[in-house]
């Protein structure tokens, strides 16, 4: 059998998938519709600073990139909640020193992955949009925009990592028995920037994800290595406030000064800067199945794009790459079996993180300032201290425990939530809760986590 493979899409997931395949001994062709982002600037306004967590780090470590990527990280230990009056409160993500997440530049990370793919012998071809997919003829057509002309490749052992708007997914979903839904959020996003101060230092605490929760909308800011922060506004598409009503620099300034006065003071030329970057849409892609024989398999956003509110889109895609590599190992290179096993293993987890990402939006923009949410977090931390092998807060399972699949994290999280809600009924402080009774309920209801088969 030919030892060739094709990866479509040289973003984060496609680049990492190509590295795994090249290290498995395949001659990999990696095609990307955009220019080489290492040579040309990436368009501003569509990055949504990335949060790298344990799942993503595990996949990067598997290809030896943990130390290289580690130099690009800014540690975030919790959410820094900004009240309207300017008061700030840090809500730690976890209880242990290693329970942190990391802010990282998407272009810098992508460049590291492309360099590693090139070093592994991957044939990188930029400005090669996929223009036609013929599943019956088992062929892919690409337009070579640099040299002119078309490139035709056989459709075999192809990994489609061409993003939420995947051309290959569209072709696959035209076949009987395949399905896809795209659920658009009624909110969109806009990126801005808080620059470093005159000395190149941070104007906000750099070791936190800053959040301005305002009920129906929110602002967040993630630190960059150069002392700046990437700021993202999440807002309804219509309404007051809504993107449709922020139609002039004056209205933008008024809105920010009333809703986020401390942030507004740190963003230069706010009214004008708001219109420099595009407004980005937010949606969830669900599809099934993701594969066709040994010809094609969807991966990452092409298979299961999620909204960014749990910081897991990239981490889930990297976990996909690790899982596909494991499936190829377990099936001894049988691509049909590997693609089938990959889909069976990853689909429940993809659906679970899609749901949890949407739920986390409500938590971020509203619940983090709700006294009941804060009491529940206190109770969760206390149960984790008492029963660390049985009770782990759902956020921690998602972000810090790569030995627990997303689906298991969600199901255990639902059980834990039920226990806590019952214990908190009519209570407003920890002193009013019978902690021993809650612990007994945890022991009776939740099996130890080490008894759970590790999720991929």
- Mean pLDDT, residues 178-198: 97
**Quick count: other Cβ atoms within 10 Å of Cβ 215?**
9
Q: What is the pLDDT of residue 454?
A: 41
Kindly provide the residue ranges of all beta strands, DSSP E only, lying in 112-228, ordered along the sequence: 123-125, 130-134, 139-143, 150-154, 158-160, 179-194, 209-213, 218-223
Q: What is the pLDDT of residue 363?
A: 87
**Is the full-model pTM beyond 0.85?**
yes
Q: What is the pLDDT of residue 456?
A: 36
What gap in Å lies between CA 29 and CA 6, rounded to an integer?
Answer: 5
Summary mean pLDDT of the chain = 95
* HSE-CB for 23 with a 13 A CA cutoff: 18
In 3-state terms, what secondary structure has residue 43? coil
Residue ranges of the alpha helices (H) in 306-434? 313-330, 335-365, 371-386, 394-400, 406-424
In 3-state terms, what secondary structure has residue 207? coil
Geometric angle at alpha carbon 147, from 146 and 152, rounded to 5°: 100
Closest CA to 286 of 353, 361, 224, 340: 353
Report pLDDT digits (tens) over 230-242: 999 999 999 999 9
What's the distance, CA 108 to chain centroid? 16
Torsion region of 414: left, alpha or beta (phi above 0 gives left; psi -120 to 50 gives alpha) = alpha
Q: What is the pLDDT of residue 447?
A: 95
Q: Are 29 and 125 in contact (CB under 8 A)?
A: yes
As a whole-number percent, the residues of the chain with pLDDT over 90 amount to 93
Instruction: For CA atoms 270, 272, 276, 282, give the dihedral sign.
Output: positive
Query: 380-385: which pairs have CB atoms within 8 A and are 24 or more residues apart?
Result: 380/416, 380/420, 381/95, 382/430, 382/435, 383/416, 383/420, 383/438, 383/439, 383/442, 384/95, 385/95
Report pLDDT digits (tens) over 285-302: 999 999 999 999 999 999
**Quick count: other Cβ atoms within 10 Å of Cβ 348?**
15
Residues in the chain: 456
Report pLDDT digits (tens) over 344-372: 999 999 999 999 999 999 888 887 889 99
> Domains in the chain, please, with CATH?
4-45+106-179+285-361 (3.50.50.60), 370-451 (no CATH)
Helix (H) or strand (E) holding 258: helix 249-259
What gap in Å lies between CA 228 and CA 242, rounded to an integer?
Answer: 26
Q: Running DSSP on this structure, what letter comes out for residue 167? A: H
Q: Is the pLDDT of residue 282 over 90?
A: yes
Q: What is the pLDDT of residue 452?
A: 44
What's the distance, CA 138 to chain centroid? 32
Report pLDDT digits (tens) over 304-337: 999 999 999 999 999 999 999 999 999 999 999 9
Strand 179-194 and strand 279-288: the pairing is: antiparallel
């Amino acid at each position: 059998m030919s030892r060739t493979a094709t990866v479509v899409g040289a973003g984060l997931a496609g680049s990492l998938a190509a590295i795994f395949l090249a290290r498995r001994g395949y001659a990999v062709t990696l095609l990307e519709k955009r220019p080489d982002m290492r040579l040309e600037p990436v368009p501003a306004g569509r990055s949504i600073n990335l949060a790298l967590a344990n799942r993503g780090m595990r996949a990067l470590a598997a290809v030896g990139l943990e130390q290289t990527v580690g130099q690009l990280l800014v540690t975030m230990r919790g959410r820094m909640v900004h009240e309207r009056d300017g008061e700030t409160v840090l809500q730690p993500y976890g209880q242990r020193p290693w329970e942190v997440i990391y802010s990282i530049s998407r272009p810098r990370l992508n460049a590291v992955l492309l360099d590693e793919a090139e070093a592994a012998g991957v044939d990188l071809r930029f400005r090669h949009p996929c223009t036609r997919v013929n599943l019956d003829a088992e062929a892919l057509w690409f337009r070579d925009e640099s040299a002119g002309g078309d490139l035709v490749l056989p459709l075999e052992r192809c990994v489609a990592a061409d993003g939420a708007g995947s051309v290959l997914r569209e072709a696959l979903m035209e076949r009987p028995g395949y399905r896809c839904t795209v659920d658009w959020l009624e909110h969109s996003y806009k990126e801005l920037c808080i620059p470093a101060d005159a000395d190149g230092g941070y104007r906000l605490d750099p070791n936190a994800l800053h959040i301005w929760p305002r009920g129906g909308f929110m602002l967040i800011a993630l630190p960059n290595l150069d002392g700046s922060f990437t700021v993202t506004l999440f807002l309804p598409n219509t309404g007051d406030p809504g993107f449709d009503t922020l139609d002039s620099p004056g209205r933008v300034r008024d809105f920010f000064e009333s809703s986020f006065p401390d942030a507004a003071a740190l963003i230069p030329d706010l009214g004008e800067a708001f219109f420099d970057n595009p407004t980005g849409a937010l949606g969830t892609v669900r599809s099934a199945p993701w594969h066709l024989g040994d010809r094609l398999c969807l991966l990452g956003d092409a298979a299961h794009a999620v909204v960014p509110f749990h910081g897991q889109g990239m981490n889930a895609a990297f976990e996909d790459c690790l899982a596909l590599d494991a499936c190829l190992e377990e099936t001894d290179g049988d691509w049909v079996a590997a693609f089938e096993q990959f889909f069976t293993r990853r689909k429940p987890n993809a659906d679970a993180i899609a749901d949890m990402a949407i739920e986390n939006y409500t938590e971020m923009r509203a619940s983090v300032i709700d006294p009941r949410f804060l009491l529940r977090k206190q109770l969760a931390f206390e149960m984790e201290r008492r029963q660390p092998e049985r009770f782990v807060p759902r956020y921690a399972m998602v972000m810090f425990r790569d030995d627990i699949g997303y689906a298991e994290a969600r199901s255990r999280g639902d059980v834990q939530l039920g226990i806590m809600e019952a214990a908190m009924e009519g209570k407003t402080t920890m002193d009013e809760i019978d902690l021993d009774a809650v612990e007994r309920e945890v022991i009776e209801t939740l099996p130890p986590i080490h008894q759970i088969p590790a999720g991929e």
